[in-house]
Amino acid sequence: MGKFRSTRRPPINKKHDLNVRVNEEVDALRVRVVDEDGQIIGIMSGREALDIAISRGLDLIEIAPKAEPPVCKIIDLGKYRYEQQKREKQQKKSQHQQQLKEIRFKAGTDTHDFDFKTRHARQFLLDGDKVKAGVMFRGREIVHSALGIEMLKNFVHVLEDVSKVDQEIKMEGNTCTVILSPDKERKPAGAKKIGE
C-alpha cells in the first residue's frame, strides 16, 4: 500500500512563541474547523483541515485542544499572535492587583504633614489600592489616644468622596488604625479640606 502524497506544497512549520499547536503540530485525528471570520466549516481530519489552510495561504491553529473534537482555526499566524497579545494586554489592564498601602502619622503630626500624607492616600485610593492609616503613640503619648482617634476621623472625612471604611477605627497595641478601600461609585468632587 503506497503512502498518501499531497499534490500541494507542504506548509512551512513556522516558529512561534505561542502555547498552541500550529500546522503539522496539530495531531488530532478529527478536528472542528473554524475560519478566520469565526464561521464553522465542519468536522474533518486534521490532514483535510491543514490542506484547506494551505490552499488559502493561511495557518491551522489549534485554539481549543480540550474540546471534543479539538477546535482549530484557519488564520494567519501573525494575525493570531497579534490578537492574542492585544487580548492579554487588555486583561492585564483590567486586572489591577489591589495592594494595601500604609500611611503613618505620629501623635503630634502637624497640619502640613497631615495634608501631604492625605494627598498620597487619595492617590492610592484613586489607583485602586486600599489604605491603612495609623497613628502611633510612643510611651506616655498613649494617654492622648483621643487625639489620634480624632485625627483618623478627620482623615476618613477628607477622603470620604473617594473611599469607604473597610475597617473601623480601632486600637492595635500602641497604634490607632483605620482601613479605607476605594469606592468606585463615588466620584471625587473636589478635595475636602480639614474641618469641613
- pLDDT tens digit sequence for 45-90: 889 999 999 999 898 889 888 888 999 999 888 888 888 888 888 8
Sequence-ordered list of residues with C-beta below 8 angstroms from that of 141, at least 6 positions apart, any chain: 107, 108
pLDDT of residue 23: 86
From the list 172, 194, 190, the residue with the least C-alpha distance to 113 is 194
5 or 164, greater pLDDT: 164
User: Is the Cβ–Cβ distance between 194 and 110 less than 8 Å?
Assistant: no
Domain boundary among 44, 62, 93: 93
Residue 187 placed within a domain: no
Q: Are residues 146 and 163 in the same domain?
A: yes
C-alpha cell at 178: 483605620
Radius of gyration (C-alpha) of the chain in whole angstroms: 30
161: domain range?
Answer: 100-182
Confidence band (pLDDT; 50, 70, 90) for 173?
confident
Domain count of the fold of the chain: 2
Write the CATH number for 164: 3.30.110.10
Q: Are residues 86 and 39 in the same domain?
A: yes
pLDDT of residue 4: 47
Residue 12 placed within a domain: no
Paired with 40 in beta bridges are 34
Q: Are residues 167 and 128 in the same domain?
A: yes
Give residue for cell 493570531: 80
What single DSSP character describes residue 22?
B
Residue 158 placed within a domain: yes
Write the CATH number for 60: 3.10.20.80
pLDDT of residue 193: 43
Average pLDDT over residues 116-129: 91
Domain boundary among 93, 114, 135: 93
Decide if pLDDT at 129 tops 60: yes
